[in-house]
Structure 1
Amino acid sequence: MAALSKNGKPVGLEAEYVGKLPCSTCGIRSMKLPGRQGGLCIPCYAEECAAAGRRAATAGTWVAASFVGDPCLACGSRSVDANGWAFWCNSCEMQTAVALPPR
């Protein structure tokens, strides 16, 4: 599971892992954001969020919207990046925090 803070919110990846270690799901791209079982690249993070949303919708529960994706879900640009706890698009400047910054 992803690291959680005292209030139960996910905590971002430590700086030493971001952009250096391979994604724990695909093993191809580098880790950029925290996932349930380890650091994920942006596409794998988006897929994990989509899968969680589908499960919640099937169960009739609410889920938080995820705007993370490659390409950007707002403008379609592939100029996207993340720093371990936040995601942003360099073209349309959309930003979203997906976890608390690590301590």
Structure 2
Amino acid sequence: MEEPGEAEQIGSTRASQLSYQSSLFLLRVLFYRKASELPSQPSRLFLDALLHAGKAHGRAIIDGVVLPLARNYTKFSKPASELVQKVLKEQTSASLIHFLRYAGYFREA
């Protein structure tokens, strides 16, 4: 049996194998700009993609999309706030705690 070629190995790289920094950059490029400029409710495809990425890389979604959206008051529209709410509702408790700690709502004892 032949060894898979380099292109096949690159194509088979799983999301969980990405480093935090790589996934943070990738998720920010893919989702932040679109999320910050939502004129109305996001499409189901966009929301599903964001939620799926959040399940795989919860902390990177929080740090790369949710926190920048929440901090940018000029672009934090009603559709963006609803998107943030849906993402946070789907996240694990660890990601939610990370968000709240980073946002300054509570500190570790």
Q: Does TM, normalized by the shorter one, top 0.5?
A: no
Structure with higher strand content: 1
TM range (shorter): 0.3 to 0.5
State which structure, 1 or 2, has the greater radius of gyration over its C-alpha atoms.
Answer: 2
Output the TM-score relative to the length of structure 2.
0.32
Structure with higher helix content: 2
